[in-house]
Amino acid sequence: MKKIPVVVIDKDKKSVDRTLAMLELFPDVGSTKYSNEIYDFEVILMKRIPIIAIIGPTYNLKDLESLLKHYSNSLNYIKIILLTQDLSAEVLKAAIKLNIHDVLEYPVKEADLKESFKRAEYVFTDNNISEAQDAVRVCKKIMFFSTKGGSGNTFLSVNFAIALKALTKKEVVLYDLKYQFGDVALMLNIYPKNTIYDLLAINKFDEENLKILLTAHSSGIKIMPGPIDPSQGESIGVEASLKVFEGLKRMCDYLIIDAPFGFKDSVISIMEGIDYMFLMATKEVPSIKNLKICLQLLERLGYPKEKTFIILNRADSKVDFEIDEIEKTIQRTIDVKIPSDRIVPISVNKGIPVVMSAPKSSVGLSIFKMLDIIIPKKVKSKI
């Protein structure tokens, strides 16, 4: 029998770790993924990937009910083991109705879980598994955000996307959310025939139409370009941005967003669905002041702190602030420091990204290092 792919999903990180630790004792378990968000499970259901999904104990039947009703056909391939702290006849009955493979009491006993796996084994035939190998594609969404223009947002999002592509060989899409004077295409020396503005005219945001608009770059990444004429940018509303965001999510493994600076409506509407929010700043006083205000605002909005990362660009320039002063001011550690280098403006002017023309330069290396944030050096991969 082939090894069984497993995904562990729960809100509570500790429970997920506990289940993952137990799975290490199972020789039949193949690739293991995990997530703290139930919406990641929807993608698996949608794609009908043969997998054992261990869900709970914080998520419960109520969280699953509508999903399972909607994707009932997928349950021939996806075997759900629900963990619960409240194992009653009622829960069991409801679980059977929803075609849940098994319900186990949490904390779960190794023998029970093994037995449950055994009963699901028949799904994991050679054919089914090979289809499933790479199919667990859950897009990671990464936003580059700054509170001030000129922070290096576009330069870094472009180079980060290309470095990510070079390392992972996965599908990477770069979305220029700056609808007025967006310069992603310019920095990559590409001249798109169509831009996001053309989508509005046809008002269709499905995969087929989005695909037509995505412009390929020689590095292998694809670009969703911003409008060429700034006056066109004004007419692109929040709804269109959200539709494009939702559509692109389904088409790639990594969606990188070059956001306009400040809390524009388009940014706010997408922010919630972002997995990694890179907050860009430079060492100048206005930039640090704005970063502090931005962090306070995000906290007030209840935006999860663990999703935010502080990126200090031109971190070695001798101006205004020292690094430790900045960290004291914002009461956060700086996660990534990108040095200043004159090859940056040269590369921007030529339209050849630094990670391609000078990957071993200090800036190039620091951008590759930044990838550690989203690709942890763990065997287990978060979906």
Ligand X SMILES: Nc1ncnc2c1ncn2[C@@H]1O[C@H](COP(=O)(O)OP(=O)(O)O)[C@@H](O)[C@H]1O
Distance in angstroms (rounded) separating the CA atoms of residues 248 and 266: 15
The token duo for 372 is 């550690």
Is residue 361 close enough to count as binding ligand X by CB under 6 A?
A: no
Distance in angstroms (rounded) separating the CA atoms of residues 29 and 114: 10
Considering only residues 304 through 323, tell me which ones interact with ligand X, judged by CB under 6 A: 313-314
The token duo for 74 is 């997928």
Considering only residues 152 through 191, tell me which ones interact with Mg ion, judged by CB under 5 A: 153-154
- Cis before 107 (ω within 30): yes
Given the complex with ligand X, which of 222 and 314 has the nearer CB atom? 314
Given the complex with ligand X, which of 338 and 370 has the nearer CB atom? 338
Is residue 150 close enough to count as binding ligand X by CB under 6 A?
A: yes
Is residue 153 close enough to count as binding ligand X by CB under 6 A?
A: yes
Residue 338 touches which member of ligand X, Mg ion, none, C-beta under 5-8 Å by kind: ligand X
Is residue 290 close enough to count as binding ligand X by CB under 6 A?
A: no
Which residues are registered as beta bridge partners of 145?
279
Is residue 348 close enough to count as binding ligand X by CB under 6 A?
A: yes
Residue 116 touches which member of Mg ion, ligand X, none, C-beta under 5-8 Å by kind: none
Minimal distance in Å, beta carbon 306 to ligand X? 24
Minimal distance in Å, beta carbon 278 to ligand X? 12
Token match 């075997």: residue?
79
Residue 143 touches which member of ligand X, Mg ion, none, C-beta under 5-8 Å by kind: none
The 3-state DSSP class for residue 74 equals: helix
Stretch that binds ligand X, among 99-107, 142-150, 188-196, 285-293 (CB under 6 A): 142-150
CA 286 to chain centre: 30
Site string for ligand X, 328-347 (x = CB under 6 A): ----------x-xx--xx--
Radius of gyration of the chain (CA): 23
Is residue 366 close enough to count as binding ligand X by CB under 6 A?
A: no
Minimal distance in Å, beta carbon 120 to ligand X? 49
Long-range contacts of 371-377, Cβ-Cβ distance < 8 Å, separation of 24 or more: 371/160, 371/163, 371/164, 371/167, 373/276, 373/309, 373/335, 373/336, 374/140, 374/142, 374/164, 374/254, 374/275, 374/276, 375/167, 375/168
Is residue 15 close enough to count as binding Mg ion by CB under 5 A?
A: no
Minimal distance in Å, beta carbon 314 to ligand X? 5
Distance in angstroms (rounded) separating the CA atoms of residues 360 and 313: 18
Minimal distance in Å, beta carbon 146 to ligand X? 5
Stretch that binds ligand X, among 68-76, 81-89, 103-111, 148-156 (CB under 6 A): 148-156
Minimal distance in Å, beta carbon 351 to ligand X? 12
Element (H, E) at 364: helix 362-370
Distance in angstroms (rounded) separating the CA atoms of residues 3 and 44: 18
Given the complex with ligand X, which of 152 and 233 has the nearer CB atom? 152
Is 27:70 a contact under the CB 8 Å cutoff?
no
Residue 313 touches which member of ligand X, Mg ion, none, C-beta under 5-8 Å by kind: ligand X
Given the complex with ligand X, which of 75 and 228 has the nearer CB atom? 228
Distance in angstroms (rounded) separating the CA atoms of residues 152 and 53: 41
Query: What are the residues binding ligand X (CB under 6 A)?
Result: 146, 149-155, 313-314, 338, 340-341, 344-345, 348, 363
Query: What are the residues binding Mg ion (CB under 5 A)?
Result: 153-154
